[in-house]
Amino acid sequence: MTERAEIEAAVIEILARQLLLPETEISPEARVEDLGLDSLGKVEAIFALEERFDISVPFNANEPDQPDFDFSSVPSIVAGVERLIAAT
């Protein structure tokens, strides 16, 4: 079972990589909108999450701001990944 702290660390690592920021600059409570991640960055981050956790994130690239997966903040992404891992 993947621990919440491990998921959170991976989410922050993936976001930091997309934003070209040190991981220490991304708060565990950060909102993605505040970080300045664009839609392409979101898609790439979702692909990275899928690969890292062997999950399939429900996401429509044609409507990146209307996902079935709440990609609005670090906590919401962590919760979404936890749900998808539990469903496998």
Q: Count Cα atoms within 13 angstroms, Cβ side, for 37.
A: 29
Supply 22's token pair.
């040190």
pLDDT tens figures, 22-76:
999 999 999 999 999 998 999 999 999 999 999 999 876 666 555 578 889 999 9
The pLDDT of 2-22, averaged and rounded, is 95
Residue-level pLDDT at 56: 92
Angle between helices 74-86 and 39-53 (to 10 degrees): 40
| Domains of the chain by residue range | 4-86
Q: What angle do CA 47, 51, 53 make, to 5 degrees?
A: 115
* pLDDT tops 70 at residue 8: yes
Residue-level pLDDT at 35: 96
Measure Cα distances from 39 to 5, 6, 43, 46 in Å. Answer: 26, 25, 6, 11
Q: Which CATH number fits the domain 4-86, given the four candidates 3.90.1150.10, 2.30.30.90, 1.10.1200.10, 3.40.50.800? A: 1.10.1200.10
Q: Is the dihedral of CA 9, 10, 12, 17 positive or negative?
A: positive
Confidence category of residue 4, pLDDT binned at 50, 70, 90: very high
